[in-house]
Amino acid sequence: MYSIYQKINQQIEMVIKNAIDKAVENGQLVEIDLPQIMIEKPREEAFGDFSTNIAMQIVKQAKKAPRQIAEVIVQNINKEGTFINKVSVAGPGFINFYLDNEWLYETLSLIDERKEKYGEVNIGKGSKVMVEFVSANPTGPLHMGNARGGALGDCIASVLEKSGYDVTREFYVNDAGNQMEKFGISLEARYLQQLNGEESIEFPEDGYQGEDIIDHAKDYINEYGSALLQKTSEERRKALIDYALPKNIKRIHDGLVRYGIYYDCWFKESSLYASEIDETMNILKERGYLVEKEGAIWLDGEKAGLEKDEVLIRQNGFPTYMAADIAYHRNKFLKRGFDTVINLWGADHHGHVARMKAAMEAIGVSKDRLHIVLFQLVNLYQNGEIRKMSKRSGRAISLDDLLDEVGVDAARFFFNMKTSGSHLDFDMDLAVEQSNNNPVFYVQYAHARICNIIKKLQEENIERISSDEVNLTLLVQPEELNLIKRLAAYPEEITMSAQTLEPSRLTHYVMNVAADFHSFYNACRVRGEQEDLLQARLFLVYCTKTVIKNVLDLLRIDAPERM
RNA sequence: GUGCCUGUAGCUCAGCAGGAUAGAGCAACGGCCUUCUAAGCCGUGGGUCAGGGGUUCGAAUCCCUUCAGGCACGCCA
């Protein structure tokens, strides 16, 4: 058993089913084809700990008023052997369950038993999932979009790991195709400009404008001089790409490591060019998805269910990005056997979603196995204004600049505070503020306070006792019970985050744990209390520490012992 | 023009597999430290859930429509 909620849901479901069966036997209800019994937490505390709307759902079948059905069910409920203490009917026909505090004390025992595993669930049942994220173009530095996608993708992967999936994190290195051509042309132009003067060659219109391209040219010249001037353009570009590309990839890799992101695999687009793109094209051809026209090869839009045809092989014989991407996804699903693939893309790529899903069907993979998480772009705010440039370099703010200014913890937390679909305003002043306004500090402070209580007690030679010895029934204050209720919900939060692919639930959750703890801290003392109560509260404090630490570890954010 | 995303308190956002009187934080105002860290807590005020229509016993949530903002519609990626 991983979650008290699971147990309670089972109990309530059983109790309801039995009650309805009994009511049918008594002739109080007609035979009913029972729908899934929904159990939820009422918003108002007065409505009990859990409730169900089952009476309202079977109105049509039972041919009675919902309240009447609810009354009948309640009359026939046998709550023996469950946590249920009281049942009532309320509102339009809700059945509310009031639980004995025993479920909360059992929650604490469960946390104590599961420790760092508390919160883990097994909805994935070991199925293989790939999360592909960031996959930044290796033609330049990481930007804010990559920063958000990185925090989001990494945490989605972590949430899935905690949910029983076999997760692989992957970075797709776009080291081939048209993009590399442009990279080479841009490097060459900067190289020639450095040696022959700005005016010697016009910088190509669609080249990469970034300052880092100039830096690469300068660095190359410093190391290897001007020998490339004597070479052909093709040789020159190749030499410059061979020089700059590994540097860029390493820089991206190191930046992401600093950010706390570790990939299982760096997959190179160029590796698809040996045979896999051809193989994929053959499959599409055999399945009748290709049309030839205007000297190019297209994906048949009509057959694939798309608005228009899409070029896969250009007139010049080179595959498009999409052709490579289809081959890449064929590799993910059919060569490496992932059951599910999750891709994180900036919202500006949303037009590609339908195309890729259609392409999956075209190669015989159900489109439902491909999930695309789109995230909106980021605005950095400072002093109430949008910040575009780094003060130090005068260039667009890179991930490294952001980490220099606000640190890893704040960046990872802030990027996971909003759902992926919402636009994100990143308040850089708030991110470095050391106050309760800053959610990162608020949560970390709760953890540090807990550690301090433990440390202070240890200085008095007071250590916690085991779950067998402690008398948890002494925990009856509202602040204590609220805190435990919050801790009980953690496995459910993981489940929901995994199902919705929204780790932002967890930042909100851990903020609420911290808030409930701070309230407890102000209302109840641990040190100096009579021994039984002290031990019960200390047990609660340890459990709270475990949960906060587990969430922060999942988010890969530091949980400091002192602040 | 077509398609996708967003619209909830002054601000930033939760809630959106339909459920009870729509929530949190910030900002504003008023309290709480001789006791484990006040980087904290407690309290007060604040709403046409963008507008309109529909489905339903019940809609912020689902459907249609209008409006506003963003994005995409390349032999770019």
pLDDT at A426: 87
Sheet holding A296-299, edge to edge: A290-293, A296-299, A310-313
Whole-number Cα distances in Å, A555 to A257, A304, A449, A488, A510 = 14, 39, 20, 19, 11
Longest Cα pair distance anywhere in chain A, in angstroms? Answer: 99
Asked if the model's pLDDT at residue A435 lies above 80, the reply is: no
pLDDT at A395: 78
- The pair of structure tokens assigned to A41 is 């937490």
Average pLDDT over residues A118-124: 95
Tell me the pLDDT band of A44, cut-offs 50, 70 and 90. confident
Distance between the alpha carbon (CA) of A42 and the C1' atom of B49, Å? 20
* Side chain identity, residue A156: I
Summary mean pLDDT of chain A: 93
In whole angstroms, what is the distance from residue A428 CA to residue A410 CA? Answer: 9
pLDDT at A333: 97
**Nucleotides of strand B under 7 angstroms from a protein beta carbon:** 2-7, 12-17, 19-23, 25-27, 35-42, 57-58, 70-77
Distance between the alpha carbon (CA) of A167 and the C1' atom of B13, Å? 30
SS3 for A130? strand
pLDDT at A194: 95
pLDDT tens-digit readout, A79-95: 999 999 999 998 888 99
Q: Which residues contact A277 (CB under 8 A, 6 or more apart)?
A: A319, A323, A324, A327
Asked if the model's pLDDT at residue A436 lies above 80, the reply is: no
**Is the distance from CB of A469 to CB of A529 less than 8 angstroms?**
no
Give the nucleotide at minimum CA-to-C1' distance from A315.
Answer: B75
pLDDT at A471: 97
Asked if the model's pLDDT at residue A307 lies above 90, the reply is: no
pLDDT tens-digit readout, A172-192: 999 998 889 999 999 999 999
Q: What is the ipTM of this complex?
A: 0.94
Average pLDDT over residues A499-514: 93
Give the nucleotide at minimum CA-to-C1' distance from A351.
Answer: B72
Sheet holding A340-346, edge to edge: A265-268, A166-173, A128-132, A340-346, A370-375
**Strand B and A545 CB separated by under 7 Å:** no
Asked if the model's pLDDT at residue A396 lies above 90, the reply is: no
Q: Which residues contact A548 (CB under 8 A, 6 or more apart)?
A: A443, A446, A447, A450, A510, A513, A514, A517, A559
Q: Which residues contact A531 (CB under 8 A, 6 or more apart)?
A: none
In whole angstroms, what is the distance from residue A228 CA to residue A225 CA? Answer: 8
SS3 for A430? helix
- The pair of structure tokens assigned to A71 is 């009354």
pLDDT at A116: 96
Nearest residue: Cα versus C1' of B41: A522
In whole angstroms, what is the distance from residue A291 CA to residue A313 CA? Answer: 11
Tell me the pLDDT band of A421, cut-offs 50, 70 and 90. confident
Helices A102-114, A478-488: crossing angle, 10 deg rounding: 50
Which chain A residues 43-62 have CB under 7 A to strand B? 43-44, 46-48, 51, 53, 56-57, 59
Distance between the alpha carbon (CA) of A454 and the C1' atom of B31, Å? 30
Distance between the alpha carbon (CA) of A527 and the C1' atom of B34, Å? 16
Distance between the alpha carbon (CA) of A423 and the C1' atom of B65, Å? 26
Tell me the pLDDT band of A196, cut-offs 50, 70 and 90. very high
Helices A399-415, A233-258: crossing angle, 10 deg rounding: 40
Q: What percent of chain A has pLDDT over 90?
A: 77
**Strand B and A305 CB separated by under 7 Å:** no
pLDDT at A205: 84
Per DSSP bridges, beta strands A385-387 and A296-299 are unpaired
Asked if the model's pLDDT at residue A57 lies above 90, the reply is: no
Q: Which of A97, A120, A90, A125 is nearest to A13 (CA)?
A: A97
Tell me the pLDDT band of A62, cut-offs 50, 70 and 90. confident
**Strand B and A441 CB separated by under 7 Å:** yes
Tell me the pLDDT band of A289, cut-offs 50, 70 and 90. very high
Tell me the pLDDT band of A284, cut-offs 50, 70 and 90. very high
* Side chain identity, residue A24: V
Distance between the alpha carbon (CA) of A408 and the C1' atom of B39, Å? 19
pLDDT at A1: 75
pLDDT tens-digit readout, A141-163: 998 989 999 999 999 999 999 99
Ordered alpha helix ranges (H), A420-489: 428-432, 439-459, 478-488
**Is the distance from CB of A32 to CB of A44 less than 8 angstroms?**
no
In whole angstroms, what is the distance from residue A1 CA to residue A10 CA? Answer: 12
Distance between the alpha carbon (CA) of A361 and the C1' atom of B52, Å? 40
Q: For chain A, which domains are there?
A: 4-100 (3.30.1360.70), 128-432 (3.40.50.620), 436-555 (1.10.730.10)
Asked if the model's pLDDT at residue A434 lies above 80, the reply is: no
Between the two ends of chain A, the Cα-to-Cα distance in Å is 36
Tell me the pLDDT band of A340, cut-offs 50, 70 and 90. very high
Lowest mean pLDDT among A81-85, A114-118, A381-385: A381-385
The dihedral of CA A451, A454, A459, A463: what is its sign? negative
- The pair of structure tokens assigned to A22 is 């009994």
Distance between the alpha carbon (CA) of A15 and the C1' atom of B61, Å? 29
Whole-number Cα distances in Å, A244 to A193, A283, A371, A394, A493 = 17, 36, 33, 22, 44
Tell me the pLDDT band of A386, cut-offs 50, 70 and 90. confident
SS3 for A386? strand
Average pLDDT over residues A408-424: 89
Give the nucleotide at minimum CA-to-C1' distance from A527.
Answer: B36
Asked if the model's pLDDT at residue A16 lies above 80, the reply is: yes
Query: For residue A17, how far is the Cα from the chain centroid?
Result: 36
